[in-house]
Amino acid sequence: MNILVYGGGAVGLGLAGALIQAGEKVTIIARPDTAEALIKKGLARCGIFGDCQWPSRLFSVATTPPLEAGSVYDFILICTKSYHSKAIAEILAKNPRLLAAQTRLVLCQNGWGNAEEFAARLGSSRLYNARIITGFQRPEKNMVQITVHADAVRIGSLFTRDTEPVVDLCAALTKGGIPCEPTRHIDRDLWAKMLYNCALNPLGAIFQVPYGDLGTSIHTRQIMDAVIREIFAVMAGAGYGTYWAEPEAYIRHFYEKLIPMTARHEASMLQDIRSKKPTEIDALNGAVVRLAERHGIPAPANRQIYHMIRFAEERYLTGALGA
């Protein structure tokens, strides 16, 4: 398979490494500094799935989408932050030569609403989403560290139940060391991840603590419980669902199973704030708030958390309050 990995951050490099290990033809689109490091040093992986090193002769690197003849892809994996979705969808829409009839886009991003951005510009028939609850960090420009793995990557479509187009991709990722499986119910998986991320990510960033600390305090537990119950109400009102029929069942699973597995993990949102970068709050609690408004459902806990993170962003993105 010929695969384009759009985004050379931790997730993109993690998935790219698995595909290279499986023997697939891989091109990585990365920022210039990352591209330079990958070309000079190759791609390295360390962590719970073992250490690997792939020299740059085994893959290609670019800083913009390759448009030369023959650069049509079987899969384009979108591994950027969610706030880049609109811009990347527009780039792909303006360069249709990258998209053959068989090309499938797989959105490997956090949050809810990314598929809408791509579907509006490229149609829905080629769109798939990936639910990823593996912890990827990037200690160096050309290195990805896998810190935790809660479950297999799952890939499916919000627009069709047909998983046949992504079977080979799932098999390649699994062969390369990252378990992956197709699913006909990716919506349930994405909302399960939304519940987890919306409860933990912003609070971990606000209080600058790992997930386990949030689960041991009665104060943060009350906030997270409220966030979770609101999301269940919003899901029901918007016609979505997940693997738990009611919030109390999920809350038990959340504290008994999910937090213990990732107790020492720090939120990517905390890493963004420390690096003074934009966060993905708009695609997480912000997406919940927008859906709540659309369906007339109150969501005060999610709204307050959303505005707290936006305040933190304003402090370092604009350098002045209210700017």
Judge whether residue 322 has pLDDT over 50.
Answer: no
Pairing of strands 52-54, 43-47: antiparallel
From 3.30.70.1380, 3.40.50.11540, 3.55.50.30, 3.40.50.720, which CATH number describes the 2-184 domain?
A: 3.40.50.720
pLDDT confidence tier of residue 115, bands split at 50, 70 and 90 = very high
Task: For the chain, report the end-to-end CA distance as a whole number of angstroms.
Answer: 47
**If you average pLDDT over residues 218-235, what whole number do you get?**
98
Judge whether residue 323 has pLDDT over 60.
Answer: no
- What is the structure's pLDDT at 320? 41
The answer to whether the 2-184 and 188-317 domains have the same CATH topology is no
Q: Using the Cα atoms of residue 56, residue 179, residue 231 and residue 302 in order, give the sign of their dihedral.
A: negative
**If you average pLDDT over residues 205-230, what whole number do you get?**
97
Q: How many CB atoms lie within 10 A of CB 239?
A: 8
Q: How many CB atoms lie within 10 A of CB 183?
A: 21
DSSP annotation string for 251-316: HHHIIIIIHHHTTTPPPHHHHHHHTT---SGGGTHHHHHHHHHHTT---HHHHHHHHHHHHHHHHH
Judge whether residue 264 has pLDDT over 80.
Answer: yes
- What is the structure's pLDDT at 308? 97
Judge whether residue 9 has pLDDT over 60.
Answer: yes
Residues 6+ away with beta carbon under 8 Å from 93:
121, 122
Q: What superfamily in CATH does domain 188-317 come from?
A: N-(1-d-carboxylethyl)-l-norvaline Dehydrogenase; domain 2 (1.10.1040.10)
Judge whether residue 67 has pLDDT over 80.
Answer: no
- What is the structure's pLDDT at 66? 83
Active site residues: 193
- What is the structure's pLDDT at 70? 62
- Taking the C-alpha atoms of residue 292 and residue 234, their distance in angstroms, rounded to an integer, is 6
Q: Average model confidence (pLDDT) for the chain?
A: 94
Q: Is 263 left (phi over 0), alpha (psi -120 to 50) or beta?
A: alpha
- What is the structure's pLDDT at 317? 83
Judge whether residue 321 has pLDDT over 60.
Answer: no
- What is the structure's pLDDT at 129? 98
Least confidently predicted of 131-135, 283-287, 298-302: 131-135
- What is the structure's pLDDT at 319? 57
| Local structure of 4: helix, strand or coil | strand
The reported pTM is 0.92
- What is the structure's pLDDT at 78? 98
**If you average pLDDT over residues 67-78, what whole number do you get?**
83
Least confidently predicted of 115-129, 197-211, 259-273: 259-273
Residues 6+ away with beta carbon under 8 Å from 174:
152, 180, 181
- Taking the C-alpha atoms of residue 110 and residue 114, their distance in angstroms, rounded to an integer, is 8
For 169-212, the pLDDT digits (tens) are 999 999 999 999 999 999 999 999 999 999 999 999 999 999 99
What percent of the chain lies above the pLDDT cut of 90? Answer: 86
Boundaries of every domain in the chain: 2-184, 188-317
